């Protein structure tokens, strides 16, 4: 697989693997042995070198899974993980104090079975801790060799600029896809100006862009989509216009809808590296085939013009989750 550069010098595969869904967020955790095999196979057969996890996925169990899977090939891959979200009484609490960051990095290093983290994200902006303070703590951890690069997730442009002045960011992770194009307004221009890479999570619209979500579908209580307004039955029905359009492109390009969604992202900027997730080898191998799909300028102009005409229904987060998102959206 081709490589891309995030920030100044973090080289990763053009598409990474988001590992969250293997143990968190989309229903019951999958069999650990099977997921370890899947992660290793993704590297060996597809050339994926970029793997994404987080302290709070599980919590902790996803980092343990990724650490065990990648230990034999640690020097061949890049691992991204995140700090800043803790669970208290089953609720998310944001904490990016220096003491918490230091405790988090030590825990992540142990679970990931490594002596350094290639890319360490602040998972959500903690409004009680100034971005400059967070960046200063990270800079110290970099000097100690525990972190090689750092980033922020779902941060607004003012926060990004303030943090970047203290300790340059390598990447920002934000939701971005045909299903959520808001970052094009402020985030992407800011990242281009500052030389920061973008790592879109949910590049397949939480499964919506694959065509696997059907009209009238409901989700189990342990599937986070059950609490997402955009996945309420009425909104799913209204938003099928986007699925129909993506399917139309897929038929024209002789590929899958998921490959359309991923290749569209890759075509937007050369410093965008999406991290789709899956627990199925069939879907994974299909998804990473997106790296071979290209578009002419005319094709992309037509696609983007059509997308601009589609209005989607429903918020991407419920009210409680929206409170944790930084300004800039």
Active site residues per annotation: 57
Q: Which distant-in-sequence residues (6+ apart) come within 8 Å of 99 by Cβ?
A: none
Closest CA to 84 of 137, 6, 143, 148: 137
Q: Which distant-in-sequence residues (6+ apart) come within 8 Å of 50 by Cβ?
A: 12, 13, 15, 16, 17, 77, 78, 80, 273, 275
Asked whether 2 and 35 are in contact (CB, 8 A), the reply is no
CA atoms within 13 A on the CB side of 96: 26
Q: Pairing mode, if any, of strands 150-153 and 171-175?
A: parallel
**Residue 104 region by backbone torsions, left for phi larger than 0, else alpha for psi between -120 and 50, else beta:** alpha
| Segment (H or E) for 52 | strand 50-52
């Amino acid at each position: 697989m081709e490589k891309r550069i995030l920030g100044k010098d973090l080289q990763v595969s053009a598409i990474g693997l988001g590992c969250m869904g293997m143990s968190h967020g989309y229903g019951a955790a999958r069999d650990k042995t099977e997921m370890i095999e899947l992660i290793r196979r993704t590297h060996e057969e597809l050339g994926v070198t970029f793997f994404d996890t987080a302290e709070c996925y599980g919590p902790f169990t996803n980092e343990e899974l990724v650490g065990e899977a990648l230990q034999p090939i640690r020097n061949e891959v890049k691992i991204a993980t995140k700090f800043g979200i803790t669970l208290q009484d089953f609720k998310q609490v944001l904490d990016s104090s220096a003491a918490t960051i230091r405790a988090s990095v030590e825990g992540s290093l142990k679970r990931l079975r490594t002596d350094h983290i290639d890319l360490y994200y602040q998972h959500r902006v903690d409004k009680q801790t100034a971005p400059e303070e967070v960046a200063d703590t990270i800079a110290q951890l970099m000097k100690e060799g525990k972190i090689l690069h750092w980033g922020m997730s779902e941060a607004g442009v003012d926060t990004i600029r303030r943090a970047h002045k203290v300790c340059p960011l390598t990447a920002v992770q934000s939701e971005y896809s045909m299903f959520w194009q808001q970052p094009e307004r402020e985030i992407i221009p800011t990242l281009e100006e500052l030389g920061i890479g973008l790592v879109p999570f949910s590049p397949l619209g939480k499964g919506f862009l694959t065509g696997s979500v059907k009209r009238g579908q409901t989700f189990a209580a342990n599937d986070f989509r059950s609490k997402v307004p955009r996945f309420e039955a009425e909104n799913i029905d209204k938003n099928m216009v986007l699925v129909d359009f993506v399917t139309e492109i897929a038929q024209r390009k002789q590929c899958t809808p998921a490959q359309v969604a991923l290749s569209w992202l890759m075509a937007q900027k050369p410093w965008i590296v999406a991290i789709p997730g899956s627990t199925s080898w069939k879907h994974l191998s299909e998804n990473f085939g997106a790296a071979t799909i290209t578009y002419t300028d005319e094709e992309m102009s037509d696609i983007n013009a059509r997308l601009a005409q589609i209005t989607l229904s429903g918020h991407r987060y419920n009210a409680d989750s929206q409170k944790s998102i930084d300004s800039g959206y």
